[in-house]
Amino acid sequence: MREDCGSYGTSRSNCSDCSISDCRVDVVPEGSPLAGWRLVAASIGLFLGPILLALAGTICFSSGPELQLLGAAAGLIVGIGGSIAAVKFMRRVDPEIL
């Protein structure tokens, strides 16, 4: 790949100086740890997990509005803490994963 290909953006159609086989635009690196189902699983776990835990906290403490708010906040805090712990663990196992 030519060094100046980066100035053409992310579309191969804008780069007339590179051949398709040399161009690395829009190519996922081989052996990427977050591709396919792993990317979907990480997205669900890290982003939807805290939301689902907040919803579960709201449902568990449904006896009154104050308790619902407390349950949602507790679930959200636990979910965010779990996501942070998961990211730190993944970085310790493979520093290039995130």
**What's the count of helices (H) and strands (E) in the chain, helices before strands?**
3, 0
Identify whether residues 14 and 47 lie together within a single domain: no
Across 36-55, average pLDDT: 86
Q: Which domain holds residue 96?
A: 32-98
Q: Is the pLDDT of residue 2 over 60?
A: no
Using 50, 70 and 90 to split pLDDT, how confident is the model at 44?
confident
Instruction: Please check whether residues 52 and 67 belong to one and the same domain.
Output: yes
Q: With b meaning 16 or more CB within 10 Å and e meaning fewer, what string describes 2-41?
A: eeebeebeeebeebeebeeeebebeeeeeeeebeeeeeee
The total domain count for the chain is 2
Please report the pLDDT score of residue 1 as a whole number. Answer: 43
Distance CA 18, CA 92 (A): 38
Of 18 and 75, the structure prediction assigns the larger pLDDT to 75
Task: Answer yes or no: do 16 and 41 share one domain.
Answer: no
pLDDT value for 91: 81
Average pLDDT of the segment spanning 18-27: 57
pLDDT at 47 over 80: yes
- 40 with 88, same domain? yes
- Count of all residues that appear for the chain in the document: 98
Residue 28 has pLDDT above 70, yes or no: no
For 71-95, the pLDDT digits (tens) are 999 999 999 999 888 888 888 887 7
Say whether both 44 and 13 belong to one domain: no
Residues 49 and 90 in one domain: yes
Shared-domain flag, residues 19 and 49: no
Q: Are residues 24 and 55 in the same domain?
A: no
Do 43 and 58 sit in the same domain of this protein? Answer: yes
Question: pTM of the entire structure?
Answer: 0.59
